[in-house]
A and B are shown apart, each in its own frame.
Chain A
Amino acid sequence: MKKLSLLGLGAGLLAALSFTAAPAVAESTLDIVKKRGHLRCQIGTPSPGFYNLKSDGTWVGSDVSICRAIAAAIFGDPNKVEFQSVSSTVRFTALANGESDLLSRTATWTLFRDTQLGLSFTTVNFYDGQGFMVPKDSGIKSTLELKGATVCVLTGTTTELNLTDYSRVHKLDIQPVVFQDSNVRNETYLKGGCDAITNDKSGLASNKAGFPDPGAHTILPETISKEPLGPAVRKGDSQWFDIVRWTVFALIAAEEAGITQANVDEMAKNPPSPEVARMLGVEAEVHKGLGLDKSWAHWIIKSVGNYGEIYGKYMGSASSDGIGIGRAGSQNDLWTRGGLMYSPPFR
């Protein structure tokens, strides 16, 4: 009998412990960020165009600019960001458990990720699609010629599944070789260990730009998937979700309205239209729900420029920072020019 009662005691203790594990009441992300004094923005390992390290140790790139824009919207200072360069395997976990305030990296928005990983994608800041890159001297002109080919791919991405789907649909019998590290994958491809690399097309352009002889490789015309890329936040804080989403919208709307880094101060003084006046906080009311200063959009544009300026600097140009992906007429152009970049009205 004694033993039994002791076991009962143990069980009671156990039950008591188990139920004390209630989750802490969440403080708003904006308050946490403000209290901390800087934003924790998760990006990926260096990939030209999206996020790359300059020789002086500063991060540059289109996704980096989103981080800086949000920091500017909150603090008025684009440098109040701690960049977290995280491998793709743990990216969603690091966001969900609160290590990062947001994720601004080439993560594809999918139903599964949006609903089952404890995170929400805010909006799209780059429309991408998966493609293939082959050496020019292979003479391959189309993805459909890759029957029985060995294709190098990175793990932890939607790319791996798209490749298998595409291979199944077109009966290509593609042999995937899955790598964790893009350097080892690139090295294998360059040595002929695989016939092609598959990745998002922007990623391919980025990889190609980093090869010793970029001209010797060609990106095949087919796009085998939709890859909408955009910043994501933890679920459950709708104000923070709005801040991130409307920061991207502010960049797009600014381009549409012709507000640039150079003329934003002038525009704020003499707003050419009521929409610009509302955006830049001159006729201030609409920003209130965000919990930010009325000059938030002004600060953003002042710090990083509008969407078109960011694109031109890091994606469009083939300069040292850019990776040379044309924009005119593509999905990433403004809706007024036939693209998909569209901001809801600032009203």
Chain B
Amino acid sequence: MAVVERPRSGSDLSSVINDERYRSIFYQILVFGTVFAIAAFLVNNTLTNMAAQGKAAGFDFLLGTAGFAIAWTPLDYKPVDSYLFVYWVGIVNTLIISGISIVLTTILGFVIGILRLSKNWLIGQIAAWYVEVLRNTPLLLQIIFWYLGAFANLPRPKQSVELFGADWLILNNRGLYFPNAEFGELFWLTAVGMLISVVAAIWYNKRAIKQQLETGVYVPIWWKILVILIGLPLAIFLVTGMPLSWELPVLKGFNFQGGTFILPAMCSVLVALVIYHSAYVAEMVRAGIMSVSHGQTEAAYSLGLRPSWTMRLVIIPQAMRAIIPPMISLWMNVVKNSSLAIAIGFPDLVNVFMQTSLNQSGHAIEIVAMVMLFYMTVSLTISACLNVYNKKILLTER
């Protein structure tokens, strides 16, 4: 049995490189130092050059008055607010548009992906064409198409369409208008009721599953859950005297006033983002499902499971392992691609901050860095969350 003689740590410098105990630390410090030095060099160089060009640098401008209006925001933004608030408005708008897009994209993508595997020839073909057409045209083109081709062609305010014949749901080329909820004093009780009912429904569902595992009896409980979810809050709402009123949109002058609205540009971006990315999700779902061996289906069938149950309980859970990793990058893409909304005037982060604020303040480098920081943070957050989920659903071997 040979014993490897480790070189004794000497006090001379060469031991740092040769001694394997210090070697890796040495190289790590070297790499870190180099990277840091390059970064510092670039920052310093930028600042020096900006000073040489007579440009102001620094983040002081963020507290200055922005001075411009923003077409759509759920926040209480006014032109007298600061650039920092504009940054926040942009972030919120971007998160709203990409959040809604991610949810809808995922749902629609799953449906299309499963439809594409349908044994029905027509349904399969339709889903295949959907995927191929949408995946193979540029997103910017689709956004402009949905805007100029569809939503910009809606009737003008004076000829507005009342959707479903309701005078409180109004569609025109300035947006989709709907009533604004005004909560009364006691509305918080209803809100608490909703929370309790959700918790109760989850608990009830868990109990039913446990019961099924123990006794093997499947009791359909979905309608009971529905009663819990709707019944309790509704009862509280009625008892407290319906503390909720609606502010209706009314045509005043050029536009509808009152109520809430979403811009046609927002609808266009949403539709374009959802439809475009759902084609990718569909392909991931299809690939994921096909990666599950056919034996699993046969085994489920031979146990007497219905096809819909087989899909839900056997195939999809296994397919998820193949679907989640590409899904992470797709969701990040949705967030990043939402910046294309600027083409049709939706006030997202890039529009209000990297365009208008940058032009008005002239602080290009600071602003671009802040926008990059935001997109990076969101992407890394999404990635981290889905990675946690991915670890959870990985094959657990007993």
Contacts and interface: CB of A to CB of B under 8 A. Distances in A.
Interface of A: 2-3, 6-7, 9-11, 13-14, 17-19, 21-23, 88-89, 92-93, 96-97, 112-113, 116-118, 146-150, 152, 155-157, 160-161, 163-165, 167-168, 174-181, 184-185, 187-188, 191-193, 195, 234-236
Given A118-B53, A176-B68, A149 B255 contact: yes
A112 B345 contact: no
B79 A168 contact: yes
Given A175-B71, A192-B173, 15 more contacts: A6-B29, A18-B44, A88-B359, A89-B359, A116-B362, A117-B362, A118-B54, A146-B254, A148-B254, A155-B356, A161-B360, A164-B79, A178-B355, A179-B345, A234-B53
Interface of B: 16, 22, 25-26, 29-30, 32-33, 36-38, 40-41, 44-45, 48-50, 52-56, 67-71, 79, 144, 147-148, 152-153, 156, 173-174, 252-255, 257, 263-265, 342-345, 347, 351-352, 355-356, 358-360, 362, 364
Nearest to A18: B44
A115 B158 CA distance: 47
A180 B358 CA distance: 13
A29 B41 CA distance: 27
Give me the 4 closest cross-chain CB pairs, A-B, nearest first: A10-B33, A118-B53, A156-B359, A21-B45
A138 to B, nearest CB: 9
8 contacts: A6-B26, A17-B38, A117-B362, A155-B356, A177-B265, A179-B345, A188-B148, A235-B54
B356 to A, nearest CB: 5
Contact of B173 (A14, A19, A191, A236): A191
A160 to B, nearest CB: 5
B255 A160 contact: no
A333 to B, nearest CB: 31
A92 B69 CA distance: 23
B347 to A, nearest CB: 7
A300 to B, nearest CB: 29
Given A118-B54, A174-B69, A175-B71, A160 B356 contact: yes
Nearest to B158: A192
A180 B356 CA distance: 10
B67 A161 contact: yes
Contacts of A156: 355-356, 358-359
Contacts of A185: 345
A165 B67 contact: yes
B54 A178 contact: no
Contact of B56 (A6, A116, A195): A116
A180 B55 contact: no
A285 to B, nearest CB: 33
A167 B50 CA distance: 35
Contacts of A113: 362
A96 B53 contact: yes
A10 B344 contact: no
A14 B40 contact: yes
Contacts of A89: 355, 358-359
B255 A10 contact: no
Contacts of A93: 364
A14 B359 contact: no
A14 B254 contact: no
Contact of A96 (B37, B55, B147): B55
Nearest to A140: B254
Given A148-B253, A155-B351, A10 B37 contact: yes
A118 B55 contact: yes
Contacts of A192: 156, 173
Given A18-B40, A192-B156, A187 B148 contact: yes
Contacts of A17: 37-38, 40-41
Contacts of B26: 6
Contacts of A236: 54
Contacts of B33: 7, 9-11, 13-14
A23 B49 CA distance: 6
B53 A97 contact: yes
B54 A184 contact: no
B188 to A, nearest CB: 32
B255 A148 contact: yes
A196 to B, nearest CB: 9
B73 to A, nearest CB: 12
Contact of B253 (A147, A168, A177): A147
A156 B30 CA distance: 44
Nearest to B265: A177
Contact of A161 (B25, B37, B68, B351): B68
Nearest to A96: B53
Contact of A188 (B25, B152, B356, B362): B152
A178 B273 CA distance: 20
B353 to A, nearest CB: 11
A23 B52 contact: yes
Contact of A191 (B40, B153, B265, B345): B153
Contacts of A148: 252-255, 257
Nearest to B354: A89
B359 A155 contact: yes
B213 to A, nearest CB: 56
Contacts of B40: 14, 17-18
B360 A184 contact: no
Which of B16, B25, B347, B355 has the most C-beta atoms of chain A within 10 angstroms of its own C-beta? B355
A150 B22 contact: no
A2 to B, nearest CB: 6
A184 B49 contact: no
Contacts of A193: 152, 173-174, 264
